[in-house]
Amino acid sequence: MLHETFARLEQQFKAGVAHVAGAELSVADFSLYHNVWFIQRASELAKLLDAYPAVQAWYARMKAFGHGTVRVVSSESALAMARHTDPAALPGGVAADSGFEAGEAVTVTPTDYARDPVAGVLVALDAHRATLRRQDPRAGAVNVHFPRQGYQVQRAG
């Protein structure tokens, strides 16, 4: 699955798509970055990245962000901010050929050993991602993002 993911990203980056989830920098870039960082630290394993120069170039761009400035926020404050903020609108919506519509109640379930479904309302769905909006008792409305690879989307019920 690792080679499949890197091969897809290699094609995407070579085609001019700058980031993991599309044209805009997103949490998906940072989520992948830390995994590649671990691979880079294991010298034998890091050799597998030799086959993916566009992924390596993306990694170098991500590494240049650095670590930023740490701002300590209590968990109570973070939850209060989330409770009083609506999730950002997502571009793209639900792909017309997906068989689903925005606003439908769905579940997203991993296809591997951890088969615990996550239920919510469908916000976005395309060939690479699924996004659900759900209500968290402490944080309020949250958008939960899943890759399509390794996950199954089904109507709830």
Same-domain check for residues 113 and 148: yes
Domain for residue 75, yes or no? Answer: no
Domain for residue 68, yes or no? Answer: no
Domain for residue 117, yes or no? Answer: yes
Same-domain check for residues 59 and 92: no
Could you tell me the CATH number of the domain that includes residue 134?
3.40.30.110
Domain for residue 111, yes or no? Answer: yes
The count of domains in the chain is: 2
Please give the pLDDT value at position 5: 92
Could you tell me the CATH number of the domain that includes residue 10?
1.20.1050.10
Helices 53-63, 2-14: axis angle to 10 degrees equals: 80
* Cα(125)–Cα(127) distance, integer angstroms: 7
Same-domain check for residues 98 and 132: yes
Please give the pLDDT value at position 113: 81
The conformational region for residue 49 under phi > 0 = left, psi -120 to 50 = alpha, else beta, is alpha
Structure tokens at 157: 């019920």
Model pTM greater than 0.75?
no
Domain for residue 105, yes or no? Answer: yes
Taking a C-beta distance cutoff of 8 angstroms, is the pair 144, 95 a contact?
no
DSSP string spanning 53-90? HHHHHHHHHHHTT---------HHHHHHHHHTSPPPP-
The parent domain of residue 125 ranges over: 87-155
Please give the pLDDT value at position 112: 87
Please give the pLDDT value at position 23: 87
Please give the pLDDT value at position 120: 96
* Cα(8)–Cα(4) distance, integer angstroms: 6
Residue-level pLDDT, tens digit, the chain, 157 residues: 789 999 999 999 999 999 998 888 988 999 999 999 999 999 899 999 999 999 999 999 999 988 889 999 999 999 999 999 999 887 779 999 999 999 999 999 999 888 899 999 999 999 889 999 999 999 999 999 999 989 999 999 7
